[in-house]
A and B are shown apart, each in its own frame.
Chain A
Amino acid sequence: MSPATLLLLALLLGLATFAFGRYKALSIARSKGGNRYLHSLPGHYGMMVGLWCVLPALAILLAWQLFETPVTNSLLDSAVPQSISDKGEKAVELYKNDIRNIVSADQLDQVTDPDKKHAALRLNHLNSFSRIALLIVMLSAALIGAALAYRKIKASTEARTVVERILHVFLVSCASIAILTTIGIVFSVLFEAIRFFQQVSFLEFVSGTKWSPQTAIRTDQVGSSGSFGAVPLFVGTLLISAIAMLVAVPFGLLSAIYLAEYASPRARSIIKPLLEVLAGIPTVVYGFFAALTVAPLIRGLGESIGLSVSSESALAAGIVVGIMIIPFVSSLSDDVITAVPQAMRDGSYGLGATKSETVRKVVFPAALPGIVGGILLAASRAIGETMIVVMAAGLAANLTVNPLEAVTTVTVQIVTLLTGDQEFDSAKTLAAFALGLMLFVTTLMLNIIALHVVRRYREQYE
């Protein structure tokens, strides 16, 4: 039976035991003369029984899913012929993988090698044993749990407390998933990055200026080791982000000021959602727009004034990233500008300042920390943006700050290194995780600083 059927089975059992528990509570109540003689509502008794039925079953199902493959894998060792296991661990893994493919594709009868056939039969046997064992263990756990809970039902049983305690644990664990995710991210990129830095020195990675991750197949060829100097990627990322900020900050900030200080409520209610549409468009659409419309336009413009522009210029990608983050800048700045107390504006007007003078000399300086926080958040978006640069920026790592030339970025390299066929242990794929670590740390720091600044600013006026 597939995991999905088992899951459904467990839920159905839970529903059935819920009905039993509730029925028992109701009959106890009837014999005593009414529901008010029970400690909890009848439904709570049912839920207690149902939960004691479903939870053990789900725990077993989950554990089985996680550990089934590793366990059958190690049990398969005995079926690996001596000739293979002499060749070392890698050969054994390869052999087992082969067997697993045969079994999962159900091609047992096409196997001619008797050793392989033997191993495949053994795996098949293990798998079917595992399936039956899972079914039996899961069902018995569910039924034992339910029976124990069912026997405990008395008028004085505090079923509601039990149910609520279980639900409380559920709520706490759901809230903790955020922490688990962060830990998962840190560990998954950190471990692979450490393995990368065992092969390539950290110093070379952060200070080298040559990036060519393609490693040659034979060790005696030129460039057999690849070179992993990531400086061109960092420079490329910063260049594109800087262009993006040059577009987004003035447009976003001026829009926010107009919306917060000048626009009528009606105009505001139309313009604000329109600007936010820009943030809702998928980045892959921007990428297509950048590659197909903006890049040729800029190339044409450049050529008409006699400049040679690369068709994958940093300028095109940067401008489109900038357009994408205009709404981030504008809505965050809008929030902080409207949070500036009206009394400060009134004071300025009272001294005879015009509206624009008030904005420039009073409101803007007061809102500056919050605006800076918003800009930092937008910058972290620009640095982490992937699809636009994958589609519109180049692949070759040029160390240049000329916006008319093609540069590549950290995110583009992560995508190119990890899509397509890959071997998981090569420095090439591990490099992607090292780049991912850099990206994560950079954006995390920007976010922490930005959130801190914004919070400090809010507290100041609250």
Chain B
Amino acid sequence: MNNSDKSNAGAASGLPTPANKDTTSIVKASLKRRYAAEKRFKLYGILSICASIGFLVILMVSIFSKGWPAFIGTYMQLDITLDQDTLGVTPQSSYKELRAANYSKLINNALLERFPDVSKRKEKRALYKLVSSGAEYQLSAHVINDPSMIGQSIKMWVAADDEVSALIKYKANLDEPENITTRLSEKQIAWTKQMLDAGEIKTGLNKAFFTNGDSREPEQAGIRAALVGSAFTLLITFLLSFPVAVAAAIYLEEFAPQNRWTDLVEVNINNLAAVPSIVFGLLGLAVFINFFSLPRSAPIVGGIVLSLMTLPTIIIASRAALKAVPPSIREAARGLGASPQQVVWHHVLPLAMPGILTGTIIGLAQALGETAPLLMIGMVAFIVDVPSSITDAATVLPVQVFLWADSPERAFVEKTSAAIIVLLAFLILMNAVAVLLRKKFERRW
């Protein structure tokens, strides 16, 4: 372009040729390059969008491919003789005695009966390891449920050990035990294969994952405690943040005079929306736990902290919803004699409600996925029991994910991914409800 510019300038100074002909030819000459640049630019845009969505897809695929096996449980069928002498109880025994009975011995005996040729102590111990250590609780619950079975022989599906489970779920080739990476010995693999061929191993929905609390044993660890903890925490968050946020939005949008104080409140709300979440955790630790001495690790403190965090989100959404109600509604109500507050409570607020609820659900979804502030107030404890009130020690789903992600056992990787899938499912559900609400009730004036 520089060259043609110069020659052009020379030509123009020499002869009075019409300049626009030259300009046209210059433009024409450059068109090809400019169109190419145009195409390239557009391509960059498409590529960056594809990359961003690609990240999303990779993330989802990696989580789902790791997480699905956790929803599948592996069970072994055993012929268990509920021998009175081994158990040390009779059908008439009390609940306490029934609970204390030795069920693991029964399971071990059943395994020995299945493989009668095992005799050495070391081999026996290896054999016992095929069954999950949670199997005895399964059996004990079964017997306590119907003590009249004592003395009889029953067929029962008990949970298999997590390494056995991994063999079955990932469809390892049991004929070539040397190619399998597992903690199991070749003998154990052979036994597993024998049972599998006899149809004594089956897979099914892993109910324990949804009904158990946390556990150090991967095959027994479940998300029930975390789910209940999340539900309590979210309930507190909703009860505190919704009324306060709506009231604040109503004040700022409908009643606030234009003065310094109002400006200060607005600046504060906008800033709080961008404060890192961990700082809210520090606030919770210093104010609610150390100053007001509320219980550590409890959903009530978690709920308070998260509600302070979600307030700005809900306030901003509620203000937008209130602003969208046209002034004519207010004027009509005023004209019929309603007081300013009656206008709001009877007319503006009901009309803005769908928008407010949408904002609230989105705010709560954010709170559901939040982890960092809860670490600060001690919700990282190892919780086995399902919390029964808002002051019990509890953990929540994202924190459970964080805890499991730290565990060294391989089986916890799939547990973590599975917990993430459950978490994402809840988030998708909440956002879908929000979108539906907006689509169904939002009115364009």
A residues adjacent to B (C-beta < 8 A): 66, 69, 160, 164, 167-168, 170-172, 174-179, 181-182, 184-185, 188-189, 191-192, 250-252, 254-255, 257-259, 262, 271, 274-275, 277-278, 280-289, 291-293, 323, 326-327, 330, 352, 354-357, 359-360, 377, 380-381, 383-387, 390-391, 411, 414-415, 418-419, 424, 432-433, 436, 439-440, 443-444, 447-448, 451
Contacts and interface: CB of A to CB of B under 8 A. Distances in A.
B277 A386 contact: yes
Nearest to B371: A284
B45 A419 contact: no
B248 A255 contact: no
B51 interface: yes
Contacts of B244: 174, 177
Contact of B56 (A178, A278, A385): A278
B64 to A, nearest CB: 12
A354 B45 contact: no
Contacts of A355: 38, 41-42
A185 B372 CA distance: 16
Contacts of B86: none
Given A181-B311, A251-B48, A411-B278, A448 B56 contact: no
A380 B247 contact: no
B311 A283 contact: no
B44 A418 contact: no
A193 B248 CA distance: 31
B275 A185 contact: yes
A160 B341 CA distance: 10
B286 A433 contact: yes
A287 B405 contact: yes
Interface stretch (B94-102, B170-178, B416-424): B416-424
Contacts of B282: 185, 188-189, 414, 418, 432-433, 436
24 contacts: A174-B247, A175-B247, A179-B268, A181-B308, A189-B283, A251-B48, A251-B52, A254-B47, A255-B52, A271-B49, A280-B365, A282-B369, A283-B372, A284-B402, A289-B59, A289-B62, A289-B63, A326-B52, A326-B55, A356-B42, A357-B34, A390-B402, A391-B405, A433-B286
A66 B269 CA distance: 27
Contacts of A323: 52, 55
A28 B285 CA distance: 54
B311 A439 contact: no
Q: Is the interface of A mostly helix, strand, loop or mixed?
A: helix
A255 B272 contact: no
A372 to B, nearest CB: 16
Interface of B: 27, 34-35, 37-38, 40-42, 44-49, 51-53, 55-56, 58-59, 62-63, 66, 243-245, 247-248, 250-252, 255-256, 264-265, 267-272, 274-280, 282-283, 285-287, 290, 292-293, 308, 311-312, 315, 339, 341, 365-366, 368-372, 375-376, 378, 380, 398-399, 401-402, 405, 413, 416-417, 420, 423-424, 427, 431
A254 B427 contact: no
A65 to B, nearest CB: 8
A123 to B, nearest CB: 15
Nearest to A248: B52
Given A255-B52, A384-B276, A439-B278, A282 B370 contact: yes
Most-contacted residue by chain A among B250, B272, B282, B375 (CB, 10 A): B282
Contacts of B45: 254-255, 257-259, 262
B103 to A, nearest CB: 31
B341 A168 contact: yes
A293 B62 contact: yes
Contacts of A189: 279, 282-283, 286
Contacts of A184: 283, 287
B49 A258 contact: yes
Contacts of A167: 341
B360 to A, nearest CB: 15
A461 B141 CA distance: 71
B53 A275 contact: yes
B271 A386 contact: no
A443 B276 contact: yes
Contacts of A283: 369, 371-372
A175 B427 contact: no
A443 B372 contact: no
B405 A291 contact: yes
B247 A170 contact: yes
Given A278-B52, A280-B369, A292-B405, 13 more contacts: A164-B341, A171-B250, A185-B275, A185-B280, A251-B52, A258-B46, A277-B56, A282-B368, A288-B401, A357-B37, A383-B276, A411-B372, A419-B380
B287 to A, nearest CB: 5
Contact of B339 (A160, A357, A451): A160
A58 B275 CA distance: 32
A386 B276 contact: yes
Contacts of B366: 280
Contacts of A292: 62, 66, 405, 413
Nearest to B315: A178
Contact of A281 (B255, B278, B424): B424
Nearest to A186: B283
A178 B269 contact: yes
A158 to B, nearest CB: 11
Given A277-B56, A278-B52, A419-B380, A288 B270 contact: no
B67 to A, nearest CB: 10
Given A281-B424, A386-B372, A178 B312 contact: yes
Most-contacted residue by chain A among B38, B52, B270 (CB, 10 A): B52
Contacts of A252: 48, 52
Contacts of A171: 247-248, 250-251, 255
B380 A281 contact: no
A380 B45 CA distance: 25
